[in-house]
Structure 1
Amino acid sequence: MNPATRTTQPFRSPAWPPGLPATLHTPRTSLFYNVEVAAQRYPDKTAIQYFGTAISYGELRDEIERMAGYLQQACGIQPGDRVVLFSQNCPQFIIAYYAILRAEGVVVPANPMWLEAELAHVVQDSGAVAAFAGSELYPRMAPLHGPALRHVILHDYAGMLRDDGGLPVPAWLREPPPAPQPAPSGAMPVAWDAASHAGHRPQPHQAGYDTLCMLAYTSGTTGNPKGCMHTHGTLMTAAAGSVIWRGATPESAVLAVAPMFHLLGMQNCMNSPLYLGATVVLMPRWERALAADLIERYRVSVWGAPPAMMVDFFSQPGIEARDLSSLAYVGGGGAAMPEAVANMLQERFGLPYVEAYGMTETAAFILSNPRNQPKRECLGIATFGVDARVVDPETLRELPHGETGEIVVHGGQVMQGYWHNEDANAAIFIELDGKRFLRTGDLGFMDEEGYFFMRDRLKRMINASGYKVWPAEVENMLYGHPAIHEACVIAARDERRGETVKAVVALRPGARGTAEAEPERIMAWCREHMAAYKVPRIIDVVDALPKSATGKILWRALQEREMQASNPRA
């Protein structure tokens, strides 16, 4: 079906996976119910493998119930209250996430790389009243404990490590946590074990498909993070759809190294396997040798990772001798997979690297390559029940196959909207054929078989190893540097990260030649004021930035110049 002759029915790719229906019946229950069902079905089956420590589904459900009881009975969490989750990957992350849902609260995932100001904005904007945090992260949260957050529960990453299984547990994970200090307000955090063993039980679970359960913050072009409102239903739609699309089963073992605060890790490494009753093989941080150990030891069959991680993994010494035969599905997205690595995966393991596309606003899974017919450097086709189109970004007229425009999507996994931000909602949602579509801000085209390919970005976003960096946000911070008069942030090519952050800056009068204006000193200042992935890796000091007749900085001209310099034959 060519868009020019479209009816109101979504285009269905002729490459649709054989045997799969066009739409799915998504469970009308809460995410917590998935764990409850798995615990009834497989009480002794391993839900989480944390080095040598196996946590069964029965144990997981009990841990969640105890912590949910503490949230309700000791912290006074009411239905709809927001609770921050500020942690790296660990069993407590999963337990806390599901305990918040079990207590009828709303999870607010927080990037553990955020510094105090970034965290403060999200706490204030969401109106969060309580938090879970890794012990080492509490100093950044302490100023908010008391004035905003009434309760903070701390965990350490070795707290649930009963057995290392003879595996090389990272030294940082075994370090004893710092002794908790009172917050400036005088409030004291509560230790995880004290909360878990307090003996509280939660009220009967009432949340359902349409209940708000998460505010996931994503930066916008203005530089102000916005909370994406997801219900149990939007997250369930993506989680249930992805496991069926990828052929996972309850016997799958999923390598969980992608950060769980991010929708990629949260959905693919936590919500999806727990929906199935599968096993989560948990890694707190990326370490390529440890990843190989875990794949071998626990026969990992499903692994989702960005291309940069795959490149690093398969370039490690001795990888040819490792037994990786259990891998049945390898996929990811966020950047194009290098041809050499994709060829190696196919030739050595018979595994295509299956690329997919999603956003925080779409609960991750919305476009994906069919595992039986993937195309290289391709976003994939519209998945179950999804209507995806390419439109002219100005007129919103649908474009024919092969023409580049803005990709727009409609589906059950699309968020309800941005939290308390009607202006942003008006800008991102449009109506076509009586259906609400999300504007992705990504420019691409659809080929004759319904595969989508990205060509450019309508919005100024830098994708550094899967982390989204919004130039306006970094620019706003750079203007706080005492030596900087003007700043423009653009993307630069990087062999390892795909893209990296580059800042082009003009200095204040009298600052040139001073120590604080040296690029290394500016970078050091940035590391003190913003998360590490946002810090410019390249700083170019110029006399003046190019401007339009109206005085606007011509960021696109600088971006095009950078791309030409890095690829002169393009």
Structure 2
Amino acid sequence: MSAAPGRPKPARTAGEAGGSSMTRPWLKHWPRGFPHALAVPQTTLWDNLATSAARYPQRPAIVYYDSVLSYAEYLRQARALAGHLQRAGVAKGDRVLLMSQNCPQFAIGFFAVQCCGAMVVPVNAMCTAGEVDHYLEDSGARHAIAAQELLPAMEPALARGALREVVVICYADALTAPTELAVPEVVRAPRQPLAKAGCVAWAEALAGAPAAPADSQPGDLAALPYTSGTTGRPKGCMHTHASLIASSVGACLWRNLHAESVVLGVAPMFHLLGMQNALLMPVWQGATVVMLARWDAGAAAALIERYGVSVWASPPAMLIDFFAHPDAQRRDLSSLAMLNGGGAAMPEAVSAMLKERFGITYIEGYGLTETASFLHCNPMQASKRQCLGIPTFGVDSRIVDPETLAELAPGETGELVSRGAQVMQGYWRDEAANRAAFLEIDGQRYFRTGDLASMDADGYFFMRDRLKRMINVSGYKVWPAEVESMLYEHPAIHEACIVSRPDTKQGESVCAVVVLRPGQALDEAALIAWCRERMAVYKAPRAVEFRAALPKSNTGKVAWREIQEAFSRT
């Protein structure tokens, strides 16, 4: 776009990707009226909540099974909880674990930690005590906020003194209004007595004086979400206020979201998809989130109709389940204006059905924990199906040869590398991982995604394969090396290989191929049960195949691709 006569052309925003439609072909399909890059607001996440509470104090911030939390009350409770955390010893730069199902308390806890100037360590509610121990040890967190049914995962750390305190959430405390919705039993459960030392009830924690917000800056670390990798040990992704806000602000503008939007918050908020779409983006806009603790297609249909939900971010598996539910056929879903997501390709038949029956185009995008979710997205007016979309505001992505790192031409398959304001600072206290994860091109730092993709002549990117071994279970990443390392702890297992099998509902399911030690006996059900005691249920194998030996390469490594190819055909 040329500058108007007599007016200087605006200076390029910091971080804007250079180039033209020849070198960056996606610019030919750039949404009209949008800048190529955004000036990232120089605020903090706490500033965003305080601003929305000042603008819209009585607006519903969260609707939870028909119970309403206003923005003014949201801010009040976050300040009160922050006051308790500060008195308990949480200081600027500390880490605080946050572990629960979706609930208003998760959101309040997240912002209370921001008020303290500390970092949130979001933990999957399905994690076991052993997995929680790793997050505590690696992050150095000494405080936690956790739901009461998840306390068993915290108890070993409390007993040995690794955790100083846990503020305990009772979901039922947030149920302040009657509802005819089917509220899960875990949400309706009354407050349990806290006999363990170091446990403080949510209501007690909010009873003291509120905190004065810490003097945080946009470049300070705000969250430490964990992701696994080829080494098998989860690594913390260092996100600043600025990187999280860049992702949120960009996603809001790209998808035309605003303060009057009503968002369905069903994706787990401990996951970056849910955190961005049901927590950070609505708070930035001052919008309303209609929240469910657990996925319930019938309840989701009722809430869409009742509250006029207009925006829903969801992995394809959830949408497939929803639109197959009888209530999706009889409810008024006309308020839905935006369906978006990623993590897996939306099946062509489902995309066509959404367009034909509901007039909705599912907008696919692409992002990782390392990029605060929002990185690529399809343009609203020119989307392609089963496509990663184009690089968004200020993002520059390229396809390179994984070995030589030379840039490849359109149509060629290579590793997708990217840079942008939403890319993490690096992995927490893991310089070896950082050296492997970043490279320099033309003097700029790019993140290596580990995904094999190609770019077409129009500048749209398509997933082709994975450079790293990874399994996608309903949007959750499972890294085979992590599961294999746990399997080797079983006394009966000599060798193990984790692969995936296509799954019509989950996208992929985890399968184990194992060799037993001589003289040992073990059946499939017993091994699966053993795994579920030690790892989150989505990581645990759903099927086990016993073999006399595993195929090996010339160097003696397990030939996992050969095993994977056999399972891909089943």
TM-score tier by shorter-chain length is over 0.9
Task: Give the C-alpha shift of residue 201 in structure 1.
Answer: 2.5
- CA-to-aligned-CA distance 1:123-163 (integer Å, 9 cap, x gap): 01000021100001111101112612212100111111101
Matched, 1:128 2:141: yes
- CA-to-aligned-CA distance 1:191-250 (integer Å, 9 cap, x gap): 00001012x222343112101111111011110110000000000000000010001110
- Give percent identity, aligned residues only: 53
- In the other structure, the counterpart of 1:138 is 151
- In the other structure, the counterpart of 1:97 is 110
Distance 2:403 2:25 in 1: 22
- In the other structure, the counterpart of 1:552 is 557
Structure 2 contact 172–191 (Cα < 8 Å) conserved: no
Task: Give the C-alpha shift of residue 166 in structure 1.
Answer: 3.0
Letter in 1 for 2:168: L
- In the other structure, the counterpart of 1:155 is 169
Matched, 1:56 2:66: no
- In the other structure, the counterpart of 1:260 is 269
Match of 1:311 among 297, 317, 320: 320
Matched, 1:446 2:460: no
Other structure's SS at 2:417 match: strand
Matched, 1:286 2:299: no
Match of 1:399 among 408, 414, 424: 408
Matched, 1:67 2:72: no
Distance 2:286 2:22 in 1: 37
Matched, 1:119 2:132: yes
Task: Give the C-alpha shift of residue 35 in structure 1.
Answer: 0.9
Matched, 1:34 2:48: yes
- In the other structure, the counterpart of 1:194 is 204
Letter in 1 for 2:186: W
- CA-to-aligned-CA distance 1:538-569 (integer Å, 9 cap, x gap): 11111100011221100111112222x23xxx
Match of 1:496 among 484, 505, 509: 505
Distance 1:71 1:56 in 2: 22
Other structure's SS at 2:317 match: helix
Could you tell me which runs of 5 or more consecutive residues in structure 2 were left unpaired when the two chains were aligned. Answer: 1-16
- CA-to-aligned-CA distance 1:294-319 (integer Å, 9 cap, x gap): 11111100001111001100111242
Matched, 1:456 2:465: yes
Distance 1:212 1:254 in 2: 27
Distance 1:252 1:501 in 2: 37
Structure 1 contact 86–133 (Cα < 8 Å) conserved: yes
- Greater Cα shift, 154-163 or 171-180: 171-180
TM-score under structure 1 normalisation?
0.95
Distance 1:370 1:55 in 2: 33
- 1:322-471 aligned within 5 A: 322-471=331-480
Distance 1:452 1:355 in 2: 11
- CA-to-aligned-CA distance 1:87-115 (integer Å, 9 cap, x gap): 11100000000000011111111111110
Task: Give the C-alpha shift of residue 528 in structure 1.
Answer: 1.3
Other structure's SS at 1:13 match: helix
Structure 1 contact 42–277 (Cα < 8 Å) conserved: yes
- In the other structure, the counterpart of 1:80 is 93
Distance 1:188 1:134 in 2: 14
Letter in 2 for 1:180: L
Structure 1 contact 22–384 (Cα < 8 Å) conserved: yes
- CA-to-aligned-CA distance 1:57-104 (integer Å, 9 cap, x gap): 1111111111111111x2121110111001111000000000000111
- In the other structure, the counterpart of 1:477 is 486
Could you tell me which runs of 5 or more consecutive residues in structure 1 were left unpaired when the two chains were aligned. Answer: none
- Greater Cα shift, 314-323 or 288-297: 314-323
Letter in 2 for 1:312: D
- CA-to-aligned-CA distance 1:376-395 (integer Å, 9 cap, x gap): 11001000000000000001
- In the other structure, the counterpart of 2:5 is none
Structure 2 contact 24–459 (Cα < 8 Å) conserved: no
- CA-to-aligned-CA distance 1:230-282 (integer Å, 9 cap, x gap): 00000000000001000111000000010000111001111001100000111
Distance 2:415 2:227 in 1: 20
Distance 2:89 2:536 in 1: 32
- CA-to-aligned-CA distance 1:342-393 (integer Å, 9 cap, x gap): 1111011211111110000000000011111111110010000000000000
Other structure's SS at 2:365 match: strand
Distance 1:249 1:269 in 2: 13
- CA-to-aligned-CA distance 1:412-458 (integer Å, 9 cap, x gap): 00000001000000000000011100000000100111100000000
Structure 1 contact 11–387 (Cα < 8 Å) conserved: no
Do the aligned partners of residues 164 and 341 (structure 1) sit closer, same or farther apart at CA in structure 2, a change above 3 Å counting?
farther
- In the other structure, the counterpart of 2:311 is 302
Distance 1:92 1:310 in 2: 26
- Greater Cα shift, 147-156 or 295-304: 147-156
Distance 1:501 1:371 in 2: 34
Structure 1 contact 50–161 (Cα < 8 Å) conserved: yes
Task: Give the C-alpha shift of residue 11 in structure 1.
Answer: 5.2
Task: Give the C-alpha shift of residue 12 in structure 1.
Answer: 3.9
Task: Give the C-alpha shift of residue 403 in structure 1.
Answer: 0.3
Note the aligned Cα RMSD (angstroms).
1.5
Letter in 2 for 1:124: E
Other structure's SS at 1:112 match: coil
- Greater Cα shift, 160-169 or 536-545: 160-169
Other structure's SS at 1:532 match: coil
- In the other structure, the counterpart of 2:38 is 24
Task: Give the C-alpha shift of residue 180 in structure 1.
Answer: 2.0
- CA-to-aligned-CA distance 1:458-514 (integer Å, 9 cap, x gap): 000000111100001111111122221100001111111110101111111112xx3
Letter in 1 for 2:145: F
Letter in 2 for 1:53: S
Structure 2 contact 229–479 (Cα < 8 Å) conserved: yes
Distance 2:429 2:563 in 1: 34
Distance 1:108 1:190 in 2: 19
- In the other structure, the counterpart of 2:7 is none
- In the other structure, the counterpart of 1:46 is 60
Distance 2:187 2:509 in 1: 28
Structure 1 contact 368–380 (Cα < 8 Å) conserved: yes
Letter in 1 for 2:75: R
Other structure's SS at 1:14 match: helix
Structure 2 contact 315–344 (Cα < 8 Å) conserved: yes
Letter in 2 for 1:225: P
Distance 2:564 2:335 in 1: 43
Letter in 2 for 1:192: W
- In the other structure, the counterpart of 1:171 is 185
Match of 1:507 among 504, 513, 516: 516
Structure 1 contact 10–386 (Cα < 8 Å) conserved: no
Structure 2 contact 92–214 (Cα < 8 Å) conserved: no
Letter in 1 for 2:439: I
Other structure's SS at 1:409 match: strand
Distance 1:204 1:509 in 2: 61
Structure 1 contact 181–188 (Cα < 8 Å) conserved: no
- In the other structure, the counterpart of 1:243 is 252
